[in-house]
Structure 1
Amino acid sequence: MGSTGKRLFRYVLLYKKPIAAALGLLMLAVCVELAGPFIAKRMIDNNILGIEKKWHEVLSDGKYTVTYNGKRYKREDHFADGETRGETARVLQVERKYYFLEGDLAFDGKREAANGKLTVTASDGQTATYPVTELSVSELYRFYKPEIPGLLAMAAAYFGLLVLAAGFTYGQRLLLQKSANRIVQRMREDVFAHTQRLPVQYFDNLPAGKVVSRITNDTEAVRELFVAVLANFFSGVVYMAAIYGALFLLEPRLSLISLPLVPILLVWIVVYRKFAARYNQVIRNKLSDINAMINESIQGMPIIQAFRRREKTMQEFEELNREFFTYQNKLLNLNSLTSHNLVNVVRNVLFIVVVWLFWGDWLGSIVTVGVLYAFIDYMNRMFQPIVGIVNQLANLETARVSAERVFRLLDEPGVDVATGEMERYKGEVRFENVTFAYKNDDYVLRNISFEAKQGETVALVGHTGSGKSSILNLLFRFYDIEHGSIKVDGVDVRDIPKQLLRQHMGIVLQDPYLFTGTIASNVSLNNPKISREKVVQALKDVGAYDMFMSLPGGIDEPVLEKGSTLSAGQRQLISFARALAYDPAILILDEATASIDTETEAIIQQALDVVKKGRTTFVIAHRLSTIRQADQILVLDHGEIVERGNHESLMELGGKYYAMYQLQQGASASVVSA
């Protein structure tokens, strides 16, 4: 994972205390849980199968003594140091029956009992016969009875360890999941905050749906890395290390048999990641494409339906969805092939080998039934974390690819947010030999020079693509120039932080954007410095207050996303009021009256005469009738200023402006006469 892993680890360090506590609880849970097979081994070998150990005759009753045929016996492991031991006796199991032997076996081997005789055949063919007595159930119980308190104590300890391990596991998962949620919360905040710092041109090339996918889907995939992958991998490593340690303590020869599991698992992970990485990269990209298309389709639904593009849009979506489905299935096949089914095969092969060695006495007599049980128990426990690791490989690769996409977005150069306040400037603007291109040498502005004094209204007119909006994009520093200079009150805008420069600028676009909330909140944008009184005054200044007060909720009337329940004129009036509420020194109107009806335009024109005072106003307008009162009109053609002056002087000039004005007046006259 390289640098991606390092950056994820830096997020982990932000919450290292709860994560360290969670991993500490996990280690305690593992240690407590792994004590269980040792207890089970002791119960089997000492308390259950220990009945076959040597018994010695004693003279007096005691805690572990057993009375049989008028004699008292005690098992050899219950004698104190120096305690006198009498004649030896044995309790031996033959198939499902138990027999009492006075004396001891010369050697052990295959046992057969018939007619009160026990025959033992050694592996070398040697045989021995002993007189024995079959024990009834009640007699057998006498020999087991001294072990029952210890057996119950061991069972209680085993159960207690399970409860304790469950408590540790609960605490570990709770802390780890809380930490994971905090990490992803922080990551989402970082990504969203960074999107606010990215320049406008970045979003020109990246659909909104893809940005949304990185903030939501990709960060959610990263959350699984900390919740599931980290827990399973760490617990798996701890479990396997602890189990190998326990196996060496239990029986070194058995532990050597299980050692090949580690390299097998490592090779397994490497091979899996080689294929899964490629599939996951495609899957995440396709998911982003699907989100982008859904977002675009919802935004453009009126156009899709109006131009009967529903079937074509569905076909395009189905094609994306089919590709997504294909690669999901490829990953599913890979997971099915390399998941717990393969783990079970490896485990069963290992068990067959061990049982075969035990049955053939290759492991020697030191490997008792209790040791074999504990080994199988430990191996079952070891394969659980192996299954957990293998099953989390898919989440690991998904999280890795998602994290790379998130960090790729975070690595995009942004603009540091400037704090503090900037004193309101006058608003005198000067462009000096400004030349600008969005891409390489494809210039949209060439040697633009003009000056706008405080309180003046400057109108920009020209055909589509002449460079009108580009001038205002540069003034707002949505883009920065490389040739020439732009100054506000004599200071180069590149020397002023973008946030502080825009602090005293207001803009009204042709298609205003409204946020979910109310009319009042869309005017103030929830800025605490914009009081309720200021909102009301701004609405009154644009002549919209009475209009909105006639609505059921007044200026607190709910507004849906993009203001879909309001008319174009109402949305534009809110946008005007928003700009005025911020009391800008420079006011920009980007074709702000283009989509407004004549009556609403008249209201706005009256309001503009009031709000322009003391402000430098830039107006982009296709309706030349709306800029007749402008102090300065700049006529642009292919990125150059070809004419400049006020309305009267440009009409007298008889150039491009004159032709455009006459054309519009002629069109208007034709509409009126019709």
Structure 2
Amino acid sequence: MGTTGKRLFQYAMLYKKSILAAMVLLVLAVCAELTGPLIAKRMIDQNILGVEKQWYEVDGKQPYAVNYKDQWFKRIDRFDDDKVEIKGKEVRVLQVGRSYYFLDGALEFSGGKREVTGNELTVANKTTGEKAVYPVTKLTKSELFAFYKPEIPGLFQLAALYMGLLVLVAIFSYGQRLILQTTANRIVRKMRNDVFSHTQRLPVNYYDNLAAGQVVSRITNDTEAIRELYVGVLANFFTGTIYIVAIYGALFLLDPRLALISLPLVPILIVWIIIYRKYAAKYNTIIRTKLSEINAMINESIQGMTIIQAFRRQKETTKEFDEMNNYYFKYQNKLLSLNSITSHNLVNVVRNVLFLAVIWMFWGGSLGAVVTVGVLYAYIDYMNRMFAPIVGIVNQLSNLETARVSAERVFKLMDEEGIEVEKGKMDRYKGEVAFSNVSFAYKKNEYVLKNITLNARQGETVALVGHTGSGKSSILNLLFRFYDTNEGAISIDGRDVRDIPKQMLRQHMGIVLQDPFLFTGTIASNVSLDNPEISRERIEQSLRDVGAYDMFSSLPGGIDAPVIEKGSTLSAGQRQLISFARALAYDPAILILDEATASIDTETEAVIQEALDVLKRGRTTFVIAHRLSTIRQADQILVLDRGVIVERGNHDALMNHQGKYYAMYQLQQGSAQTA
């Protein structure tokens, strides 16, 4: 068992009591079901074909005695061994073709070919070539029925027992399947919760190189494939294994020679599984990977549908999808061909070859002693019952490989180093932030920040300006600990941020992005993010502080108006106001505005600026802004160029310096006047 198998087993062991209960019910069902052929064997050999056993004349009517022509006869196996019973002459009832004959006497040898001519029975011994001729009388239907009549109560009792066992099998099988499949669903529910929870612990940089659709595929499609492992594959493997072991046990009880003939089936099945898995593993890995890529592309296409249609890229996008889909189709067909070759049809071929071998051995006489019809019937019944679970196992091989590959992908995601979510709380810090010679690179040796040093005191507003790619957002990513520094240190209130658990550090931070993200729900739920600690009054007050409460109150439903995915029915300004109110509702010690006013019209921006003047008191605020007019009142303005702070100071000082900031400001002012 590999690492993946061990981990799947560990998940199963979380519900070992339920699985054990299902296995007990399964064993009971198998035992009850496999008793059936033994009952059928007894009915055939004892109650039906037993009529050809020796009969002895007895004195008068008694249990199991048969009246024939005013004489009473009793079968040899119906005499009571505990009592001394007087046996008269021996007689026989013999079947020749479809007719039965009464022989008033004993047979010299019972085996051999039988022929009746007139009232004479000829029995020829195949081995010695001897022949014996006996006078016989053909029995009428009523006379024959008289010999069978004592067996009818026993037949009905065995038939009733057989039916009762079938009812028990149905009850046990129902309970076993219900418990096992319910347990399987619980296992996968637990696994899916664990996978999703782990995605919340993964650092932001993990998602930089992995498409969202691929992560979605692992949480949904791959865990669903694993569910099929527990529901279908393991159920069939458990059931099949128990059935095969039990049937072999029954075969050895029935006839050891027949059991030995059937033993090669086990190594054949094992070799079969090994060969199948060798080829199926390769195909399934490609299929699951390609399916993730298809999901990722679908997800990306839906999110970017506006751009695709606006730039008339529908044909190219469809062509790209078609190529991926055809590749997926190609390997699906390869797997289908493999499954077809190793399907239950091959099982049927093996079964038929086995039956031919048994028939050949019967006719060849190599089995030695005679095997009764009942034994032969029970053997064929057992073999048919054995091949049913073998077919079940073979048919589940494809699902087994799919689930194994899916499990590897899921566990690979779960093995990514995550950050444990701290459940405790941290006292609200003041918000004094210091960067000391901080350097950072997203990729090795490609530094986007170089020797950044800054100090922001409590209540100060620090503005970061510079061209695209100058490192403004990277500074805030480090402050939030979405990433950690390569060199240097960042501290809050004199404490290194790396010594503070990330969740606790972010408890007292608020952020407003240029492109705010809204969740499906309502306006109010997007402000509170369903945090029970944020009251309705606090939500309303936050919206009032940003000047948005009256705007949203006029909507149908007010602040309880529904918000669909990403808030696409709201304007950019409305989405930004909700995002801003969200940050304020959490009452952060450090407030970060990442180009927060870039998508807002001038009138809305004025409303936010008024709210900011009040809200910045006692709060350290970092602002990234393209509109330099919005940061004129900032306490510090840091001008970045290619990851280096090239200028710092307030607006007036930088304007007097007439450097890069002065040039940027003059350029924007000129553009505004021209516009």
Q: Tell me the CA shift for residue 153 of structure 1.
A: 0.7
Partner Cα separation in structure 2 for residue 246 and residue 550 of structure 1: 79
* TM-score, normalisation: structure 1: 0.99
Matched, 1:231 2:235: yes
Superposed CA offset, 1:603-654 (max 9, x none) = 1111111111110000000110110010000000010000000000000000
Equivalent residues in 2 for 1:375-394, closer than 5 Å: 375-394=379-398
Equivalent in the alignment of 1:311: 315
Equivalent in the alignment of 2:661: 657
Gaps of 5+ in 2: none
Q: Tell me the CA shift for residue 173 of structure 1.
A: 0.4
Q: Tell me the CA shift for residue 545 of structure 1.
A: 0.4
Matched, 1:151 2:150: no
Give me the identity figure in percent. 73
- Pick aligned residue for 1:85 from 72, 75, 87: 87
Equivalent in the alignment of 1:287: 291
Q: Tell me the CA shift for residue 226 of structure 1.
A: 0.8
SS of aligned partner of 1:132: strand
Equivalent in the alignment of 2:67: 67
- Pick aligned residue for 1:340 from 340, 344, 365: 344
Q: Tell me the CA shift for residue 5 of structure 1.
A: 0.5
Equivalent residues in 2 for 1:497-512, closer than 5 Å: 497-512=501-516
Partner Cα separation in structure 2 for residue 75 and residue 165 of structure 1: 35
SS of aligned partner of 2:443: coil
Moved over 3 A (4+): none
Equivalent in the alignment of 1:424: 428
Partner Cα separation in structure 1 for residue 176 and residue 398 of structure 2: 23
Partner Cα separation in structure 2 for residue 446 and residue 552 of structure 1: 51
Equivalent in the alignment of 1:101: 103
Q: Tell me the CA shift for residue 236 of structure 1.
A: 1.0
SS of aligned partner of 1:503: helix
Partner Cα separation in structure 1 for residue 324 and residue 141 of structure 2: 74
Equivalent in the alignment of 1:539: 543
SS of aligned partner of 2:236: helix
Letter of the structure 2 residue corresponding to residue 69 of structure 1: K
Equivalent in the alignment of 1:404: 408
SS of aligned partner of 1:438: strand
Equivalent in the alignment of 2:49: 49
Q: Tell me the CA shift for residue 490 of structure 1.
A: 0.4
Equivalent in the alignment of 1:356: 360
Equivalent residues in 2 for 1:391-540, closer than 5 Å: 391-540=395-544
Superposed CA offset, 1:364-416 (max 9, x none) = 33311111111111111111111011001001000000000000000000001
Letter of the structure 1 residue corresponding to residue 31 of structure 2: C
Equivalent in the alignment of 2:611: 607
- Pick aligned residue for 1:366 from 350, 367, 370: 370
SS of aligned partner of 1:642: strand
Letter of the structure 2 residue corresponding to residue 408 of structure 1: K
Partner Cα separation in structure 2 for residue 328 and residue 166 of structure 1: 37
Q: Tell me the CA shift for residue 363 of structure 1.
A: 1.6
Partner Cα separation in structure 1 for residue 160 and residue 108 of structure 2: 38
Equivalent residues in 2 for 1:94-173, closer than 5 Å: 94-108=96-110, 109-123=112-126, 124-173=128-177
Superposed CA offset, 1:448-500 (max 9, x none) = 00100000000000011100000000000000113111000000000000000
Letter of the structure 2 residue corresponding to residue 119 of structure 1: T
Equivalent in the alignment of 1:26: 26
SS of aligned partner of 2:380: helix
Equivalent in the alignment of 2:300: 296
Equivalent in the alignment of 2:196: 192
Q: Tell me the CA shift for residue 212 of structure 1.
A: 0.5
SS of aligned partner of 2:465: strand
Letter of the structure 2 residue corresponding to residue 113 of structure 1: V
Partner Cα separation in structure 1 for residue 257 and residue 181 of structure 2: 40
Partner Cα separation in structure 2 for residue 298 and residue 58 of structure 1: 93
Partner Cα separation in structure 1 for residue 589 and residue 103 of structure 2: 111
Partner Cα separation in structure 2 for residue 362 and residue 97 of structure 1: 30
Partner Cα separation in structure 2 for residue 628 and residue 524 of structure 1: 31
Q: Tell me the CA shift for residue 361 of structure 1.
A: 2.5
Partner Cα separation in structure 1 for residue 113 and residue 399 of structure 2: 53
Partner Cα separation in structure 1 for residue 203 and residue 424 of structure 2: 21
Partner Cα separation in structure 2 for residue 267 and residue 554 of structure 1: 68
Equivalent in the alignment of 1:643: 647
Q: Tell me the CA shift for residue 357 of structure 1.
A: 1.4
Equivalent residues in 2 for 1:259-274, closer than 5 Å: 259-274=263-278
Q: Tell me the CA shift for residue 552 of structure 1.
A: 1.0
Letter of the structure 2 residue corresponding to residue 4 of structure 1: T
Superposed CA offset, 1:54-91 (max 9, x none) = 00000021220100011000100000122111110000
Partner Cα separation in structure 2 for residue 226 and residue 24 of structure 1: 17
Residue correspondences, number: 671
Letter of the structure 1 residue corresponding to residue 76 of structure 2: E
Matched, 1:595 2:613: no
Partner Cα separation in structure 2 for residue 650 and residue 137 of structure 1: 123
Partner Cα separation in structure 2 for residue 68 and residue 481 of structure 1: 107
Gaps of 5+ in 1: none
Equivalent in the alignment of 1:560: 564
Partner Cα separation in structure 2 for residue 219 and residue 407 of structure 1: 10
- Pick aligned residue for 1:215 from 210, 214, 219: 219
Partner Cα separation in structure 1 for residue 673 and residue 170 of structure 2: 86
Partner Cα separation in structure 2 for residue 514 and residue 52 of structure 1: 87
Partner Cα separation in structure 2 for residue 75 and residue 39 of structure 1: 21
Q: Tell me the CA shift for residue 420 of structure 1.
A: 1.0
Partner Cα separation in structure 1 for residue 215 and residue 60 of structure 2: 86
Partner Cα separation in structure 2 for residue 207 and residue 484 of structure 1: 31
SS of aligned partner of 2:24: helix
Letter of the structure 2 residue corresponding to residue 494 of structure 1: R
Equivalent in the alignment of 2:631: 627
Partner Cα separation in structure 2 for residue 166 and residue 282 of structure 1: 41
Letter of the structure 2 residue corresponding to residue 567 of structure 1: S
RMSD: 0.7
Q: Tell me the CA shift for residue 512 of structure 1.
A: 0.3
Matched, 1:572 2:570: no
Partner Cα separation in structure 1 for residue 235 and residue 406 of structure 2: 19
- Pick aligned residue for 1:583 from 575, 587, 595: 587
Letter of the structure 2 residue corresponding to residue 507 of structure 1: I
SS of aligned partner of 1:384: helix
SS of aligned partner of 2:591: strand
Letter of the structure 1 residue corresponding to residue 432 of structure 2: E
Partner Cα separation in structure 1 for residue 360 and residue 143 of structure 2: 36
SS of aligned partner of 1:85: coil
Partner Cα separation in structure 2 for residue 12 and residue 552 of structure 1: 49
Partner Cα separation in structure 2 for residue 350 and residue 83 of structure 1: 47
